[in-house]
Chains A and B, each alone.
Chain A
Amino acid sequence: MNFTTRTQINFNKVADKVLAAILPNEEISVNFNAEETLFVRFNNSKVRQTTSVEQTSLEIRVQFNGRTADASFNLTGNTEHDQAQGLKWLEILRKEIATLPEDPYQVPMTNNGSSESAHTGKLLAAADVVEAIVTPAQGCDFAGLYTAGPLITANRNSKGQSHWFATESFFMDFSIYNGQKAVKGVYAGTEWKQTDFVKQLESSKAQLALMDKPKKVLQPGAYRTYLAPGAVAEIAGMFRWEAMSYNAYKQGNSSMKKLADKEKSLSPKFSLRENFGMGLTHRFNSLGELAPENLDLIKNGELANFMVSSRSAKEYGVTGNAAEGYEGPRSMEISSGTLAKEDILKELGTGLYLSNLHYINWSDRPTARITGMTRYACFWVENGEIVAPIADLRFDESMYDCFGENLEAVTNFQDVDPEVGTYHGRSFGGKKIPGMLIKDFKFTL
């Protein structure tokens, strides 16, 4: 029996036990997460570390008398032991609830339906991983992380709701180096094809060859700039950091407040939406609510919707849209435009071609100003020709400028930017992002 199957059987038995222990006037939900993952870390085209992780955890939420308390714990796979642990934590939560103040914005549990989705992948056998990667990486300075295995999330509640999502996936997140010059690549999916990985690695090697010139040092200032999809994806990540949160808007912390209040606008070329139709992650949230398959957030430069959780909906008396508690997009897409790949350098003319950005933070939220660094394959371009790689630059730029009147063109293609985060456990999802041509992108250091 494979990990996914035996995990599902154990989860359901433990959930049955916990949900059956409900007392009058209580509501109980369980959220479940599991993974069986092989991580292999590479440096200098060699193996730095390997870590295999098998972990499952169950979170129990109890609601009673207007109070809410949560507890999560790891499951062992021994059903009797895990059921006993579940009942133990249930009792701990009941005792805790008795001491808590009432929560006026508690969301009553409902039955949001049932779903079951399981995707089987074709992954490398653990014994074959090292050779599959090290062999084609010979001859270059290769660093990165290979990650693969089953990944599961599920939700049930005492109202009869039940959701299960399981997938088998991998990513090889890598970079290759020529001294301090580097190129980034990610090969990700559900079916490992050695020829595809080698092809992508060779493409990265070819890009690295373009950097085999002395770095050009540029002075701070405003430059005409092409942001490749990887660079736009880094900025797009900021839309998950309270920008699109209705609660943050009401609390004064959303960087899109001026857009919402119509004091500022973005370019008609800029549209952002939640799109679960891309199939990158599950639609149900941790309350088991099904998010709409498509939800416009910013449409042609104007705010269409904030992300609204059921808790915010109750607090502020508005309609929710099944957002997760943090109210950030989980399956983000920025719409494509008209700029063809073959025209990018020509339309850029003279300026900067930035493949990636790094370590972005808000430098001033009310004006949606962000700061960060250039990273990896970034070039100076003159008259449509790549001239030289650049020394790293710091930018400090408002989204209202770069996604506003300074946004000249959006590419007619999008790249999938897979989620490669592994804090605590592997993440689901990704983004679909185009490139953008921007005038007067501001660099400060």
Chain B
Amino acid sequence: MLNLHKTMKDISNAADWVSLRQLSEKTTWRSVRDEKPVTNAIVFTEGIMVEVLVNGQFAYAATSDISDGGVKRALEQALLMAKKSSAHKVHPFTLDQRIASKGRYSSPIVKSLDAISAGEINDIFVAATKAMKVSDKVVSRNATAMIVETNMKYVSSEGADIEQNFSIVSTDLSVTAADGNNVQMRSDSGGLARCLQVGAEVFDRASLTQRAQRAGEEAIELLAADNCPEETVDLILAPDIMTLQVHESIGHPLEYDRILGDERNYAGWSFVQPSDFGSLQYGSKLMNVTFDPTIEGEMASYGYDDTGLAATKQFLIKDGVLERGLGSLESQARLNLPGVANYRSSSWNRAPIDRMANINLEGGTQTLEDLISSVERGVYMKANKSWSIDDYRNKFQFGCEYAQLIENGKITKTLKNPNYRGTTVKFWNGLKGVSAKTEVFGSPFCGKGEPNQIIRVGHATPHCLFSNVEVFGA
């Protein structure tokens, strides 16, 4: 087996700078439908990424052959491509874009994931899907877990020496109910949105069963609900839809690689211009947004990014004004703007790019009840179901699973098929209420990059009240 430090010693003079990033990751999927097992699958991936700097150009080569021979072949390939592309580089990079940090990071866990067996998880999910069967109109009941255990080691020719261990669990409970062609779905806060750095303690039978039953009851409730009206009203969004709102209309447009155009052939560009930092009134004064990979247990917490830069909390938007973007040391050099520690790769076989980590909307001072009581006529929506936004991250349309009508400061009835649409800056400037209490969600599936990469993100958000939003039903 490879001795990373010895291998680095052998190749450290092969280029102006060299790093090795070795990653092993075990992803376990468990899913049960209608009390029957569907998937029990483990995906174990292990490999090494060689990165070199030659004539101001970084190049990468990865292999699943984790032997000295495999590393040597990858090194030769990386050197070849660095040399061939350095005459056409987008920027003359230097060692200033790599940090020789030394350190360790581990997810906080109470109970090891080894403490719970495949059979026990299946048993809990059988019970959860049984609890969803609250009516004969329930036609589909699903429980899924995605369990990730990662070990990443990183060394460089300048002396970086980092090891990070992650323990991550995402769960999903969903129910479909049907009455003829009236079909409604309700889940446990959206598809795999309950995701945390956590241990086996997350598989709490009583809690999962209770949430499963509630999802079943609300799916049935939706069958009898009125369609969401089509009008422009006040809108309260619960944290399990705010997580998407923050992700799509704050996180992505603030990524420097989008602003620089690296992403425009795939995920898209951004309406944000470099000159907007420090001046753009992105939202109302109630809007405070942070990049914070240091929060214990949130999905995208870590100690260091893939340049070796230590993770720290930074304000992106303060009192509604855009202050800082999501840019790595490379993007910061290209834009001459301050950024964050966000150069992250999805696995050993991909190069790092500018990513979100935990992008959080800071809590305000009100309660949810305060927000509801302040609304004369409005809609309160929960849990994301549909999402779409343009390639500049401007015009969005999001759908939710469940909504309630608010009339004269009180919730009066349940609404089905709720959707809303808007444009980013106008929408955020309509923010007029923020609850003090925040809730933590996230996603294991943020897609971006060429070649494509999926990465984990976290979002802690409060309940928020927005004015004059277009809502509509099916």
Q: Is B64 touching A361 in the complex (CB atoms < 8 A)?
A: no
Q: Given A70-B40, A78-B67, A359-B390 in contact, is the A126-B397 Cβ separation under 8 Å?
A: no
Q: Say yes or no: is B105 at the interface (Cβ < 8 Å to chain A).
A: no
CB-CB under 8 A from B268, the residues of chain A are: 358
B contact residues around A45 at 8 Å (CB): 88
> Which residues of A lie under 8 Å from residue B350 when comparing CB positions?
51
Beyond A76-B67, A444-B421, whether A143 also contacts B264 by CB under 8 A is yes
Which A residues lie within 8 Å of B451 (CB)? 37, 39, 41, 51, 53, 145, 147, 422
Is A72 among interface residues, defined by CB-CB distance under 8 A?
A: yes
Contact present for A73 and B45 (CB under 8 Å): yes
Please, which residue of chain A has its CB at the minimum distance from the CB of B43? A72
B77 contacts A126, C-beta separation under 8 Å: yes
A230 interface hit (Cβ, 8 Å): no
Contact (A252, B176) CB under 8 Å given A47-B57, A53-B62, A366-B183? yes
* Residue A421 at the chain B interface, CB threshold 8 Å: yes
Q: When the two chains form the complex, which single residue of A53, A71, A100, A175 contacts B264, counting CB atoms closer than 8 Å? A: A175
Q: Count chain B residues whose beta carbon lies closer than 8 angstroms to a beta carbon of A.
A: 88
A100 near B139 with CB under 8 A, answer no
Task: Give the CA-CA distance A103 to B40 in the complex, in Å.
Answer: 11
A-B contact pairs, 20 of them (CB 8 A): A41-B450, A44-B90, A55-B47, A55-B62, A71-B44, A73-B45, A74-B44, A89-B44, A100-B37, A145-B265, A180-B269, A252-B178, A261-B181, A358-B268, A359-B388, A361-B386, A363-B397, A366-B182, A394-B388, A396-B397
A69 within 8 Å of B by Cβ? yes
Q: Which of B88, B182, B392 has the most CB of A within 10 A?
A: B88
Quick check: A358 and B349 within 8 Å, CB to CB? no
> Would you call A282 an interface residue if the criterion is a C-beta within 8 Å of the partner chain's C-beta atoms?
no
**A contacts with B, residue count (CB < 8 A):** 89
Taking A51-B60, A145-B266, A394-B397 as contacts, is the C-beta distance between A373 and B176 under 8 angstroms?
no
A55-74 contact mask (Cβ, 8 Å, vs B): 1 or 0 = 11100000000011111111
| Chain B positions 40 through 75: 1 when the CB is less than 8 Å from some CB of chain A, otherwise 0 | 111111110000000001111111111100100110
Given contacts A103-B36, A364-B474, contact A57 B64 (CB under 8 A): yes
* CB–CB A104/B36 < 8 A: yes
Q: For the complex formed, measure the closest distance between the CB of A240 and the CB atoms of chain B, giving whole angstroms.
A: 16
Sample of 17 more A-B contacts, CB < 8 Å, known A54-B70, A253-B176:
A43-B264, A44-B90, A49-B353, A55-B349, A69-B41, A69-B118, A72-B45, A89-B44, A99-B119, A103-B38, A126-B80, A145-B450, A182-B264, A258-B181, A392-B392, A392-B395, A396-B397
Q: Is A342 an interface residue (CB 8 A)?
A: no
A372 touches B388 (CB 8 A): yes
Given A48-B262, A57-B45: A126 in contact with B81 (beta carbons within 8 A): yes
- A51 touching B61, Cβ below 8 Å: yes
Q: How far is the CA of A261 from the CA of B178 in the complex (A)?
A: 14
Which residues of A123-163 are within 8 A (CB) of B? 126-127, 129-131, 134, 143-145, 147
Per the bound structure, the CA–CA distance linking A358 and B139 in Å amounts to 32
Query: Cα distance A396–B386 when bound, in Å?
Result: 12
Q: Tell me whether A105 and B36 are in contact in the complex, defined as CB-CB below 8 angstroms, given that A49-B58, A54-B62 are known contacts.
A: yes
CB of A146 to closest CB in B, whole Å: 9
Q: How far is the CA of A345 from the CA of B47 in the complex (A)?
A: 52
A-B contact count (CB 8 A): 256
Complex formed: what's the CA distance from A252 to B182 in Å? 9
Which residue of B126, B397, B474 is within 8 Å of A366 (Cβ)?
B474
Query: How close is B301's CB to chain A, nearest CB, in angstroms?
Result: 24
Q: Which of B37, B80, B88, B182 contacts A46 (CB 8 A)?
A: B88
Q: Within 8 Å of chain B (Cβ to Cβ): is A17?
A: no
Q: How far is the CB of A148 from chain B (nearest CB, A)?
A: 12
| Residue pair B176, A55 in contact (C-beta under 8 Å) | no
Looking across the interface, which residue of chain A has its beta carbon closest to that of B345? A51
Residue from A57, A257, A362, A423 having most chain B Cβ neighbours under 10 A: A423
Across the interface, do A373 and B391 meet the contact criterion of CB distance under 8 Å? yes
In the complex, are the beta carbons of A74 and B386 less than 8 A apart? no
| Any B CB within 8 A of the CB of A431 | no
Residues B46 and A74 in contact, CB atoms below 8 Å apart: yes
Among the listed B62, B262, B399, B447, which residue makes an inter-chain contact with A363, where contact means beta carbons less than 8 Å apart?
B399
Q: Which residues of A contact B (CB under 8 A)?
A: 37-41, 43-57, 67-78, 89, 92, 96, 99-105, 126-127, 129-131, 134, 143-145, 147, 173-175, 177, 180, 182, 251-253, 257-258, 261, 263, 358-367, 369, 371-373, 375, 392, 394, 396, 421-424, 444-445
Q: Who on chain A is nearest to B60 by CB? A: A51
Chain B hits for A180, CB < 8 A = 269, 392
Beta-carbon contact of A423 and B40 below 8 Å: no
State in angstroms the CA–CA spacing of A49 and B93 once bound together.
12
Which residue in chain A gives the minimum CB-CB distance to B178?
A: A252
**Residue ID in chain A nearest B45 by CB atoms:** A74
A143 and B67: CB pair below 8 A? no
Q: Indicate which residue in A50, A71, A422 contacts B81 across the interface (CB closer than 8 Å).
A: A50
B64 near A76 with CB under 8 A, answer: yes
Distance (whole angstroms) from the CB of B17 to the closest CB of chain A: 16
A416 to B447, CA, bound (A): 24
Q: Which listed residue (B264, B351, B390) contacts A373, Cβ 8 A? A: B390
Q: Report A314 CB to chain B, min CB distance, Å.
A: 12
Q: Are B181 and A423 in contact (CB under 8 A)?
A: no
Choose among A48, A53, A77 the residue that contacts B349 (Cβ–Cβ < 8 A): A53
Q: In the complex, what residues of A have CB within 8 A of residue B450's CB?
A: 39, 41, 144-145, 173, 422
Q: Is B111 an interface residue (CB 8 A)?
A: no
| A-chain residues with CB within 8 Å of residue B57 when the two chains form the complex | 47
Q: B260 at the A/B interface (Cβ < 8 Å)?
A: yes
Which B residues touch A360, using CB under 8 A?
388
